[in-house]
Amino acid sequence: MLIKEAHFTPQRMLAMLGLKGDSFGSHALIPGPKERSETILKLLERPQKNFTFLDYEMYTGSLDGKRITVGNGGRYAPDTAITTEILCGGGAKNLIRVGSCGSLQENVQIGDLVIVTGALRGDGTSRYYVPENFSTVAHSEIINALKRAADSFNVRYHLGWIFTTDALFQETPELIQQLNEQQVSAIDMVTSTFLTVAQVRGTKAGAILAVSDECLYGKFGFRDPRFQEAEKKTIEVARAALQYL
């Protein structure tokens, strides 16, 4: 059957959800889980819930004199693509993911922060957007803003690449070793999709991540006080980075 008209273009779908080009603030802080989103939301002045779709909610308010949107951005690649499309369609111009990751290098330890410079795409979702040879990178302005903010807090952080996977339980020793040898700093289940969609839609994006695990040694630190403190630092650094954008 010949389809004469693309009924479900991204623009049309977003319009059906009630989004306009100025629905959101020009800056957005986007964690994955709702729990982290609620922590960031407490920083906003006069936040208003101005978007909801399925399990995704966006609130917009003021923070340090800027109009900021905060929302839960998804835990995995497919829902991250949805929320990133929503943010881009609603007018957000600078996106900062506030998340977590596992370390792939000996010097990247639980409680450290990683400012992502680029991503290797092990996820399946981004393949619907770009060819295999597409270079997924964070925007230089977002990287520099996060770096300046991290320097101002004197926190331990690393600039590096991340590998995004869809298969949490297939992080085999062979894969970890291969990524380590390629000097990839960290691994997660979100960031490559987030950055790819933002690039395709012409939106600036970057990520600041707290290290929860040391994958080389099988050390898991989600309950480690160092990780919990690093989570707080990611929020502080992301907030401070907004002043440089």
Return the closest-CA partner of residue 97 out of 163, 162, 32, 24: 32
- Exposure string (b/e) for 36-60, b if CB count within 10 Å is 16 or more? bbebbbebbeebeebbeeeebbbbb
CA distances from 124 to 34, 165, 198 (A): 24, 8, 16
- Helix 191-200 to helix 77-89 angle (10° resolution) is 30
- Give pLDDT tens digits along the chain (245 positions): 455 555 556 677 667 777 777 889 999 999 987 888 899 999 999 999 988 888 888 999 999 999 999 998 888 999 999 999 999 999 999 999 999 999 999 999 999 999 999 999 999 999 999 999 999 999 999 999 999 999 999 999 999 999 999 988 788 889 999 999 999 999 999 999 999 999 999 999 999 999 999 999 888 888 899 999 999 999 999 999 999 99
Specify the long-range contacts of residues 47-54, CB closer than 8 Å, at least 24 apart: 50/23, 50/24, 51/17, 51/18, 51/19, 51/23, 51/24, 51/86, 51/90, 53/17, 53/82, 53/86
CA separation for the pair 233, 238 (Å, rounded): 8
Structural domains of the chain sorted by starting position, each given as residue range(s) with its CATH number in brackets: 22-244 (3.40.50.1580)
Strands (E), 104-198: 113-122, 136-137, 157-165, 186-188
CA distances from 67 to 63, 70, 89, 197, 244 (A): 7, 10, 16, 22, 14
Kindly state the tokens that stand for 80. 């991250």
Report field, pTM of the whole predicted structure over 0.85: yes
- Report which secondary-structure segment, H or E, holds 51: strand 45-53
